[in-house]
Structure 1
Amino acid sequence: MKNKYLMAMVLCFCMLGANAQFYDDMEWPAGNCPAHWGGGPPFGCPPIGVGNAHSGVQYGYIPDDGTTDVVLDLGSKVAGEWGLKFWMFVPLGKEAYWNLQGEYPVGAGQWIVGNIYFNRDNTSPGVGEIDDTALGSVMFAFPHDEWFEIIINVDISSGINASTWQFYADGVEAVPAGTPFTNGSGTYPTSLGGVDFFSINSNNQLYIDTFDYINGFHTPSLGIDDVSAVVFSVVPNPVANFLRIHSQEDIISLKVYNIIGRQVMESNNSDIMDVSLLADGIYVIEVTTPKGIGLQKFIKK
Structure 2
Amino acid sequence: MVLRLLTLFLFITASTQAQFWTENASGFPLTTTGLSKIHIVDDNVAWATGYDGTNPNVNVQRFTTTSDAGATWTAGTIDVGNTTLGISNISGVNASTAYVAVHPTAAGQQGGVWQTTDTGATWTRQTGAAFNSTSSFANVIHFFNATDGVAIGDPAGGFWEIYVTTNGGTSYTRMPSANIPAPATNEVGYLAQYTHLNDNIWFTTSTGRVYHSADKGVNWSVFQSPLSDFGGTNLSGDISFSTPSKGLIQDNSGNLFITQDAGTTWNVVNVSGTGFPYGGAIAYVPGSNRVVSTGGNTAFAGTSYSTDNGTTWTNVSTDQHIDVAFLDKDTGYSGGFSTLSTQDGVYVYSDNVLSTFDDLATQGFSIYPNPTTDFIKLLSINAIEKVEIYDLNVRLLMSPENTDQINISHLATGAYLLKVSSNGTTSTQQLLKN
Name the TM-score class by shorter chain: 0.3 to 0.5
Q: Which has the higher contact order (CA 8 A, sep 6+)?
A: 1
The structure with more radius of gyration: 2
TM-score normalised by the chain length of structure 2: 0.24
**TM, length-normalised to structure 1:** 0.32
